Structure 1
Amino acid sequence: MEDENIASEQSERREANGNADSLLAASINEKLSSLTSLPSQCCIYRVPDTLRRVNEEAFVPRILSIGPVHHGKKRLRDMEGHKWQYLKALLQRKPGTMVERYVKAMRELEARTRGCYAEIIKFDSDEFVTMMLLDGCFIIELFLKNKNKQLRDEDDPIFNRTMVLTDLHRDLILLENQLPFFVLETLFNLIENTDQEGPSTSVLELTYVFFKFLGLQEVLIRDSQPDVKHLLDLLRLWFVPPSSTKSTSKSKFELIRSVTELHEAGVKFRMGTVSCLMEIKFINGVLEIPPLTIEDTTDSLLGNLIAFEQCCNRFTPHYITDYVILMEYLINSPKDVALLSRYGIINNLLGDNEGVSHLFKKLGKEVVFNSDKFQFSNLCRDVNKYHKTRWHIWRATLRRDYFNNPWAIISFIGAVLLLFFTLIQTVCSLLSLKKGNNK
């Protein structure tokens, strides 16, 4: 009887465990079925925590939210009123324009737009469509007013305040502050179809004019129609080289010496004549680097470009990341910054060489780059080969150990003169002795 009770208890226990396992399995299956894969068109991401911890301020908007990530934050609400004013001005300038037409166009793009964000957007449909319309029209109206001063009101709260416009330039290039480019193009095309004033333009051209101060390549506007994901992506495309000059290097990655060390070894530096940051060349001992202006928002611009590349799939070339890594190696101290400034390669608006040196160290921190696909491998190899030749090593040693300050140079010249006069005296003594013997 006792054995039967034990068997019964074991059977009940197995049945209970079986039910528990079934319930757990059902729960796991429900969780798995609710998961959605990352959309293939995903292009707007949260900045990785590793980069954010290095310099969080570079990735956070100061006055403007665009898109859903920072939407509704209290400190950004002041600009919401200006968005509505700009939308009103845009519609009033287009007689007969129906708001419903814009709403319908945005509603048709809603699902596609949501798919561009790496995280699930919790706004309901009306809230999301309103945000698309308001933010998109604000950007277009801002760009139009920037290009055409006649469209601005006398008391315009943005263009009459330099600081506000500067902050807008910065906030519009943040990775987390983006709208898909097709939203801007759709809205702009609707606006253009009702516009009978002036020559036609494009969102590409308006964007170029707004960010022209960055030194962008205008050639992309006329000669090609790149597949643009958003404003930050467009800036990246303008900074990278054209397809014909992109690196196909398979050289092994090599570290490169600092500017000061290369200069001591006889490497000459020259300011490049093109605006593309990637067009760095080394020919016949001359390292040619395009000019770069360093100002208060440079860390934010380069930092967000790097963050975007770090989030993209592995097939996306890391042009900006590789550029920053190269500059981090070249600029190892304030002395390196001073040398590059002397040759016009760096325009330092920070006024502090130490700050520029620290900026590149900070930008390169926690960044992952592929040494097998490093865009400047050939350049580093050629520079190192030049630096390692015996004569250049001797020259660098001589400059570092004997010509590193004015007193050392004076001492060296004095020693050479002393040796020269000693040699002359010796020759004269020998000639005098020989003349005496002949007598």
Structure 2
Amino acid sequence: MASPNPNDAVMKIKAMLEEGQPRYTDECCIYRVPHEIRKHNEEAYTPKVVSIGPFHHGNQNLLNMEGHKRLLCRKFIERSETKNLESFVSCVEKLEANVRGCYSDEIKLSKEELVMVILVDCCFILELLLRYHFKQWSLLSRRLHSYVDYDLLLLENQVPFFDLDKLYKLAFPTALNGGGHNSHPSLLNLALYFLPACIIPDTNDEQILNNVDRVVHFTDLSRKCLLASSHLFQPSASGRSRGAKVTHIFSATEFNEAGVKFEINKNDKDVDLLIRKGIIENWLGDSNAVAKMFNGLGVNLIYEDFNVQYSHIFEDLNAFCAHPWNKKVATLKRDYCNTPWKTAASIAGIFLLILTIIQTIFSILQVVH
């Protein structure tokens, strides 16, 4: 039996290494939610009624909406100025390779299958947005509408914004260039009109348009809208910005020695107080559920920097801890006043010391006179 040729192994390993590809490309912008985050609440990251893009395509729980998606896709093509299916298919085919590169996972669909998915999903979204804008009947119940709205904001349920934009401009070349009474708003304006009020509260579209950079998909747009609309992300009066760095924070032991109190706060009735003050509207019906929701917001999130509001808290804590008087007071409380009996004994000792000092002063005065 012939011995194995070491060159064969070399060739196989070389071929294997050449098959290596970067995990993410520069075009990649649509990702799977990491398992470590998803496992805490699977439903929060999974669409409820409609799949968009390849990640959830074919999900048995979402098939009921496929017929409706195809209907609105057809309505969009009929609404368009060209009314030519071939031109829309050709447009998506030219973009197919770029679209495929936008997804973090390898897409198992063939080119033809991916073109069909992207075409139907994009035209469905565009028709839905136009019906929102022109206040036309969308053929969906109000309850189903709410689910669709939020499904379209999920990270795994996205199509690239450039694909939507290409198809939109292909459909209405005249209307987008001042076509009289048939003029259409830009796709970005349509998308902003679609976003729920909770995404862009108390901020007009013009402000958002002036502060939103290149949008890659709807989730990205909602994030940028929140950043642009929130005063928390603007520089404060002291000039400290959102990306304020915390260079040092004292340890828990040092905080304890300075008199900072640590308490376990599972609910401590904070939610009830905020509800009574009108700060929180509780639709969950259970204050503990609300507290649990807020306490779980930071699970498995990694922060590169801190919000300026948190940096203010850190700075105040550091200043409190660094003050020598606070440490002395804390030491006195910890060593001599940590129980009622010790407190009483300490007060009695101080009172006795004061009396002793007074008696000493009187004795000295008597001797002098």
TM-score by shorter chain over 0.5? yes
What is the TM-score when the length of structure 2 is the normalising length? 0.72
Asked if structure 2 preserves the Cα contact closer than 8 Å seen for 1:43 and 1:116, the reply is: yes
Describe how 1:12-411 pairs up with structure 2 within 5 A.
16-17=3-4, 19=5, 21-37=6-22, 38-94=24-80, 96-149=82-135, 151-152=136-137, 156-158=138-140, 161-195=141-175, 196=179, 197-216=181-200, 217=203, 218-241=205-228, 245=235, 246-252=241-247, 332-333=266-267, 335-370=269-304, 373-376=305-308, 377-384=310-317
Q: In structure 1, the residue corresponding to 2:269 is in which secondary structure?
A: helix
* 1:52, distance to aligned residue in structure 2 (A): 1.3
* 1:334, distance to aligned residue in structure 2 (A): 5.8
For 2:117 and 2:279, locate their aligned partners in 1 and report how far apart those are by CA, in whole Å. Answer: 42
Unaligned runs of 5+ in 1: 1-11, 258-264, 266-328, 395-439
Give, as a single letter, the amino acid of the residue that structure 2 aligns with 1:250: K
Q: Name whichever of 336-345 and 174-183 sits farther off.
A: 336-345
- Can you list the C-alpha shifts for 1:12-51, whole angstroms capped at 9, x where unaligned? 9xx825x1x4333322222221222121111111111111
Give, as a single letter, the amino acid of the residue that structure 2 aligns with 1:247: R
Asked if structure 2 preserves the Cα contact closer than 8 Å seen for 1:330 and 1:336, the reply is: no
For 1:200 and 1:103, locate their aligned partners in 2 and report how far apart those are by CA, in whole Å. Answer: 22
For 2:7 and 2:297, locate their aligned partners in 1 and report how far apart those are by CA, in whole Å. Answer: 51
1:356–1:244 CA distance, 2 compared to 1 (3 A): closer
For 2:281 and 2:89, locate their aligned partners in 1 and report how far apart those are by CA, in whole Å. Answer: 45
Asked if structure 2 preserves the Cα contact closer than 8 Å seen for 1:97 and 1:194, the reply is: no
Structure 1 segments of 4+ aligned residues over 6 angstroms from their partners: 386-391
Aligned residues: percent identity? Answer: 32
For 2:155 and 2:114, locate their aligned partners in 1 and report how far apart those are by CA, in whole Å. Answer: 19
CA RMSD of aligned residues (A): 3.2
* 1:385, distance to aligned residue in structure 2 (A): 5.8
Q: Name whichever of 86-95 and 341-350 sits farther off.
A: 341-350
Give, as a single letter, the amino acid of the residue that structure 2 aligns with 1:201: P
* 1:207, distance to aligned residue in structure 2 (A): 1.6
* 1:351, distance to aligned residue in structure 2 (A): 3.0
Asked if structure 2 preserves the Cα contact closer than 8 Å seen for 1:334 and 1:354, the reply is: no
Asked if structure 2 preserves the Cα contact closer than 8 Å seen for 1:254 and 1:380, the reply is: no
Asked if structure 2 preserves the Cα contact closer than 8 Å seen for 1:204 and 1:221, the reply is: no
1:88–1:241 CA distance, 2 compared to 1 (3 A): closer
- Can you list the C-alpha shifts for 1:301-335, whole angstroms capped at 9, x where unaligned? xxxxxxxxxxxxxxxxxxxxxxxxxxxx9985262
For 2:246 and 2:131, locate their aligned partners in 1 and report how far apart those are by CA, in whole Å. Answer: 48
Q: Name whichever of 190-199 and 347-356 sits farther off.
A: 190-199
1:331–1:240 CA distance, 2 compared to 1 (3 A): farther
For 1:331 and 1:113, locate their aligned partners in 2 and report how far apart those are by CA, in whole Å. Answer: 47
For 1:333 and 1:386, locate their aligned partners in 2 and report how far apart those are by CA, in whole Å. Answer: 28
For 2:56 and 2:248, locate their aligned partners in 1 and report how far apart those are by CA, in whole Å. Answer: 39
1:341–1:49 CA distance, 2 compared to 1 (3 A): same
Q: In structure 2, the residue corresponding to 1:348 is in which secondary structure?
A: coil
Unaligned runs of 5+ in 2: 236-240, 253-259, 330-369
Q: How many residues align?
A: 301
Q: In structure 2, the residue corresponding to 1:16 is in which secondary structure?
A: coil
* 1:380, distance to aligned residue in structure 2 (A): 2.1
